[in-house]
Every structure is written in structure tokens, then in C-alpha cells.
Amino acid sequence: MSFAAKDIKVYREDEKAGHRNIGVKERERLVQNYLPDPPTRARSRSRKREHETSHFGIRKFLRSQLYSFMYIFVHAIFSVYIRIRVAYHAVSLRILSILKYHHNTPDYVRRDVSTLKRLPKHVSVILTLEDGGRAGDALEKLVNEASEVAAWCASAGIPRLSIYERTGVLKRYMPQTHRALVQKLKSWFGKRQAPPVSLSTRGASTIYTANREYFAHDQVPLEVVLISEDDGREAMVDLTKVLVQMVQKEKITTSDITQDVLDNELSEAVMPEPDLLISFEPYVDLQGYPPWPIRLTEIYCAPDNQGVGYQVFLRGLRKYTEATFKLGK
């Protein structure tokens, strides 16, 4: 409620006179008409009673039960959906593995990829060391999976395969890994028809197949590159140190360091950029994969998949065929 003009005039004149024109009681009576009515005891008691009732009463109990029911209902619906999705993917992958089983024969793989419009020149896969290597046969299983993927790539005519394993355990057993690759290709193609395979990694000498001149000339050589988590961070650090030293010695200038230079140097130090990256995990998990080489790479992951399988590899090739690459100007 706004003050009346008469009351405002009286108050202002009293204020100018140093509050000597009217007394204290008269000033209280002046503003009394403009104060709100004080709350009654009955109203305050009823509000307190309502607060206590809502705090300890039935409404709070019903509200909590409603929230619990909604929480359980949403989780039940989501759990049913997840189980149905996992079952569907498991059945579909199982049926595809039966219908498209390669029988360790390159001709079956060539037949499966013959309908594809294009094939990647460089395929990269992410393999995982089971239980962190604590299991006794974890390393043997990992080498066998790498050999299987190499046989699929050789059969499909893919010339380059890069295998990423986070810990880099395969790098410590390069001769054994190369021997397993050669044996796997011989079991698939035959002793004289198997393509030559080379195995390389950053900071180590490349291992080639012995007596390569005796292999069939119509077979496409397979180049296998082993990479790990260290090839991302350490490669960038080493390249940075080299470029800094060259700038300090005035061999190059800072303007000479461009994105193309970095791309070429990293490609030579680690590997060229893959066309297709396949993860055999049930969800996309790069596990520390070097980020620089996969800027334009097509990444494929089969939802709810478990383990390395030919059907996932074949689906990845089909996904690459259907992909559209827009590199811009």
C-alpha cells in the first residue's frame, strides 16, 4: 500500500525539522495504517500442523513409494531391452558365422568379398590380452588371433594389416609372432602358395619371410605392423625433440613445420593411416590407440560381440564399402 500525499508531506516536514514536530507515538500512528496485519496464532498453528502432517504423514510415504516404483519400472524395462538386444546380436552373429564360415580356405573369403565394391588397402584391428596376461595361455591365444586376422586379410587381398595391442607384448615376441603368421598362412594357402609376410614395428628391424623368391608371384605380399599404446605418446615426443633440435640448429624454421610434415613423419615412424579400424569389443573402446593415424579412419564395432570372429571382420569390410568419405576442400 502506498503512502498518502498528506502523510508523506507531514513526515518530510518532521524529517527536515529533525523529528521535533511530531512525537514518537504520532509517528507510529502515522505508519500504522500502512503495516500488514500480524498473523494470528490459529493460522500459525494450522500451518505448523500441516507441515508436521506432510513431513511425517501418508503423503510422503506414498510419494516415496511412487518414486521407487518408477525407478524399478524404468530399470526393468531397460534390463529387458538389453537382454533382448544381446540375444538378438548373439543369434545373428552365430547364424552369420555358420553361413559364412571360411573353412580355413582362401577361396571362401574371396567369394565373400567379391561382391564388395571396394576393399581397404590398410586394415587395423584392436586385440586384447586376456586377463592382462595372467592366464597361462593368454599370449598363445593372442598370437593365434593375430594369425587368424592376417590369414583373412591375405585371403581378401588386403596388403597391409596393423595389429594394436595395448601393452605391446607382441613386440617382445616378434620372431615367435612372425613364425606363427607364416605357419598360419601355409596352413591356409599351402606351403608353396602362401604369400610372403613381413613383420615390423617402431624401433625394431623388419622380419621378412625366408626364401621369398620361391613363393608364387601372383600372391600379394602381406605387411603386418605391430603397434601399442607407446607408439602414440612416445612417437609424438620423439618427433617433437627432433624438430626442436633441427630448429635450434637452424636447419629448418618454425614455418616449415606444417601438418603435412607431421603427418609424413609420423607415418614413416609408426605406420600410414589405416582405412578401416575394427574393434572386436562389445562397444567402441580404442584402449589408448594412437589418435594421429585415425583422423579419417572408418571405425567399426559390432555391438554385444564377444571375441575375435570372421563374421565381425566381414561386417567391417561391408561397413567400409557403404561408408561415404567427405574430406572437404
pLDDT of 206 over the 70 cut = yes
The pLDDT of residue 306 is above 80 = yes
Mean pLDDT for the stretch of residues 15-29: 75
pLDDT > 90 fraction of the chain, expressed in percent and rounded = 33
Mean pLDDT of the chain: 82
* pLDDT tens digits along 226-245: 999 888 777 778 888 888 88
The answer to whether 230 and 269 have CB atoms below 8 angstroms apart is: no
Residue 257 buriedness (CB in 10 A; 0-12 / 13-18 / 19+): middle
Task: Indicate the pLDDT class of residue 215, thresholds 50, 70 and 90.
Answer: low
> Residues with Cβ < 8 Å from 155, sequence gap 6 or more?
102, 106, 109, 110, 188
Average the pLDDT over 182-208 and give the result. 89
- pLDDT tens per residue, range 80-101: 998 998 888 888 888 877 877 7
pLDDT digits (tens, 9 = 90+) for 120-160: 999 999 999 887 666 668 889 999 999 999 999 999 999 99
> Would you say residue 52 has pLDDT above 60?
no
pLDDT of residue 299: 92
Q: Is the pLDDT of residue 165 over 70?
A: yes
Confidence check: pLDDT of 217 > 70: no
**Residue 133 near residue 169 (C-beta atoms within 8 A):** yes
Region 174-202: what's the mean pLDDT?
Answer: 90
Average pLDDT over residues 249-270: 79
